[in-house]
Amino acid sequence: MTWNDYSLIKPAGLFFILGIMQAVSAFESFIVEDIRLEGAKRIEAGTVFNYLQPVITPGQRFTQDDTKDAISTLFKTGFFLDVRLKREGKVLIVHVKERPVISKITFSGNEEIETEVLTNALKNIDFADGEFFNRSRLERVKLEVQRQYFNLGRYAVYLESTVTQLIRNRVEIQINIIEGEVARIKQINFVGNYTISDDDLLDVMKLSTDGWFSFFGDDDQYSEIQLHADLEALHSYYLDHLYNQSNMNSTQISISNDKKDIYITINLTEGDKYTISDINIVGNLIVPKAELLEKMTIRAGSVYSRKQVSKSREAILERIGDDGYSFANINAAPDIDFKKKTVALKFFVDPGKRVYVRRINFKGNNKTRDEVLRREMRQMEGGWISTKKMKRSLTRLERLGYFENVNVETHRVSNTDDQVDVNYTVVERPSGNLMAGVGYGQTQGIVFNTSITQDNFLGSGKRVGLTFNNSDINTVYRFSYFNPYTTIDGISRGFDIFYRTTDAEEANLSRYTTDAYGTTLKYGLPVSEFDYLSFGAAIDHTLLKATEYSAQEVFDFIDANGDIYDAYRLTASFRHDTRNRTLFPDKGTLQSISIDVTMPFSSLTYYKISYRHQWLYPLRKDYIFLLKGQLGYGAGYGENEYLPFFENYTAGGPRTVRGFRENTLGPLDTNDLALGGNLKVVGNAELIVPIPFVENVRSVRLSVFIDAGNVYGIDEDFDTSELRYSTGISMMWLSPLGILSFSYAKPLKQMEGDETRRFQFTIGTTFNW
């Protein structure tokens, strides 16, 4: 193709890639009438002519000196292995030999980095399928791949490349990768920290040295990206505890000869520690100054902390926001005395206008009726906005259990400066279940269950259920109904009808069986935002059956009271619940007390009082301290002196004192089988910790625990020396199969005759956390 032929074609874009010079045939200068391209297979002639245009065009004189510029220009494109210039009359002939084209790039041995990630990284340096192959660029490719692995701490990575020549001037490139082991952090040193210890600084960093739990995580694996993040965290930590003169000066990283151990040295300057000399709040405060000062987390005399200043500012903002000033401006101005090393803080408050809620909107509730969400609102339309009420409304929606996720946002109303719309967005979870399943427990054995339940029946918020459960211990048929809002004020009503057979021996108790059926009616009354009262009545009919091998206590009871009992019960309970969730909460308190008493005209007259306590305190991210307690007491009255033995409290097992066989603690019958007792005392202390590789703490929970407890018989007084203790580790998982619970416990105190079970588990059965 000649230049004159190309003059009718639109020019292409430019490319600049380095090349090397080649020889050129000698000729005298001449006027070029045309330029002809030879040897090009893939490159368009117009592209080549565009590159040559700054050097030579038809009609210009071309000299021997111009050959260097022309050849250099074409080599810099990176398209050619060889370039030669010839003269044929008044025609300049450009003869080229193209570089091979990359047909395919393949990787092998890369397990830690996906092929797609490596391929995209090479595209950024113009090394990809369809590009011209330049062997000198292959070294740059290796460096880029190494850089990807160095970011993961794999400094021992080894690369080997193979270039295979293909037909039609193409090449295939194979890059074999030996990833090597991740370099482990052997030691982290700090230089310049005089007031804060190495241990405190290490706690701030995510990177750490080898530890007991390094096998489960990657905190001891060096990562350049994570180190930069840790340096920022250290700087913020100093700003939170000292004044902002602190600085991370430099970091030295050294690696062992085998590239397996990393040594990190962090050089820092702490600066001087400053204390708060005075705190003042000025401006239009809206609420009493003393109240705002009480809300603040920072105090005069404490060490200056940017974090605490920010928390105090948020506390003021939230308190003023409760009175409708959600767009208030609050600024903290520090007055620094460098000589005395003190800071006087002054908070300036500009509340702005009081903001009112125009509308509350709900989105995502495709099944649930709008009224079900609206009745949980504590923030009202038409009233001024309250930060506290908005948060409480959010919590109440989460506690319903109908939604996987709940979010709230506020949007200013157009053309106003004192109105907002509050928008709640929910993601519904399936509320209806037709379920048939199988579970297993070490005590219950195989559990078959079938249930049809609607926790949100027809989107009304009512719960309707029909259940069948069958295990070695129980066979249960139950129909239940519950309406949490029988009235607009939140009075609830529910009832159930049941039939149940029980084999106590299968539950590790005395040998007897019972057949029972009955019905229950309950009403609930909200006393306050966190307090709830419930009252109920129940009627049940029980048939007690002794076996040939039953204990004497069973026969004596039947002789004295018969074997058929009709019970007319009254129940009452009070619950104080500030937890943020009903399932797997991470903060708050639950206290409940309940009483169950049979009426005087029942076959057996007795009462039971139970108390339950739960307290959760977040220590740090994903670490939660949990205290639980259970107390129970029962006794007879009227013609019955004692609590019936089949109503006894039991202890031992996953729900009470782990490490002991379920229900086996406490008094024994004449056959040395557990009989239970009329007094129950159980306490649990747990530290809930994050699980390696699992971030969703709402579905999986791991904890270390200490349990203590026992039950006492009718002739026994409470005695701390009789308490049993255990410690261990526990895990619960809300799996598609149901709730899976596992625990491994070592009894710390046991007595002769106690039955222990170090490993205990249940699969797909009900478990109260």
Question: CA 742 to CA 751: how far, in whole Å?
Answer: 24
The pairing of beta strand 492-503 with beta strand 679-689: unpaired
* Closest to 472 in 3D by CA, of 437, 509, 513, 506: 506
Strand partners, 591: 576, 613
Neighbours of 763 (CB within 10 A): 19
For residue 499 the two structure tokens come to 């039939």
Low-confidence ranges of the chain (pLDDT < 50): 2-25, 213-216, 432-449, 765-769
**Do residues 43 and 74 lie in contact, with contact meaning Cβ atoms separated by under 8 Å?**
no
pTM for the model stands at 0.64
Distance CA 519, CA 756 (A): 37
Phi first, then psi: what are they for 114, rounded to 5°? -65, 150
302 vs 297, 316, 343, 345, 456, CA distance in Å? 10, 19, 10, 12, 51
- Predicted pLDDT of residue 467: 79
Sole residue written with tokens 């301290």: 625
The residue behind tokens 């409470």 is 718
CA atoms of 224 and 154, how far apart (whole Å): 11
Give the separation between CA 53 and CA 11, rounded to whole angstroms.
10
Which among 595, 603, 495 is positioned nearest to 543, based on CA atoms? 603
Amino acid making up residue 169 = N
- For 401, phi then psi, to 5°, come to 85, 5
Please state the φ and ψ torsions of residue 688, each to the nearest 5 degrees. -85, 125
Rounded Cα distance between 534 and 92, Å, is 103
Strand-pair partners of 498: 478, 518
The predicted pLDDT at position 737 comes to: 56
DSSP string, 354-378: --EEEEEEEES-SSS-HHHHHTT--
Residue spans of alpha helices (H) in 242-369 = 289-295, 306-321
603 in Cβ contact with 566 (< 8 Å): yes
Report the C-alpha gap between 397 and 405 in whole angstroms. Answer: 9
pLDDT of residue 16: 33
Long-range CB contacts (within 8 A, 24+) of 750-754: 750/660, 750/724, 751/724, 753/668, 753/672, 754/660, 754/664, 754/665, 754/724
> What pLDDT is stored for residue 125 in this prediction?
81
CA distances from 447 to 6, 444, 475, 514 (A): 84, 7, 9, 19
Question: What tokens appear for 320 in the block?
Answer: 């003023």
Residues 6+ apart with CB under 8 A from 575: 531, 532, 533, 534, 590, 591, 592
Positive or negative torsion for Cα 252, 253, 255, 261: positive
Exposed e or buried b per residue across 721-749, where buried means at least 16 C-beta atoms within 10 angstroms of its C-beta: ebbbbbbbbbebbbeeebbbbbbebebee
Q: How far apart are CA 54 and CA 73, in angstroms?
A: 9
- The Cα–Cα gap between 11 and 49 comes to 8
Q: How far apart are CA 452 and CA 467, in angstroms?
A: 6
Q: What is the pLDDT of residue 243?
A: 58
Tokens of 757: 């079970």
- For 580-615, letters b (16+ CB in 10 Å) and e give eeeebbbebbbbbebebbbeeebbbbbbbebebbbb
Would you say how long the chain is, in residues?
769
Structure tokens, 713:
């018989």
Where b means 16+ CB within 10 Å and e means fewer, 461-479 reads bbbbbebebbbebbbbeee
Contact 425, 409 (CB under 8 A): yes
Q: What does the alpha-carbon distance between residue 769 and residue 760 come to, in Å, rounded to a whole number?
A: 15
Taking phi over 0 as left and psi of -120 to 50 as alpha, with beta for the rest, 306 belongs to alpha
Query: What letter does residue 75 receive in the DSSP assignment?
Result: H
Give the SS3 label for residue 287. coil
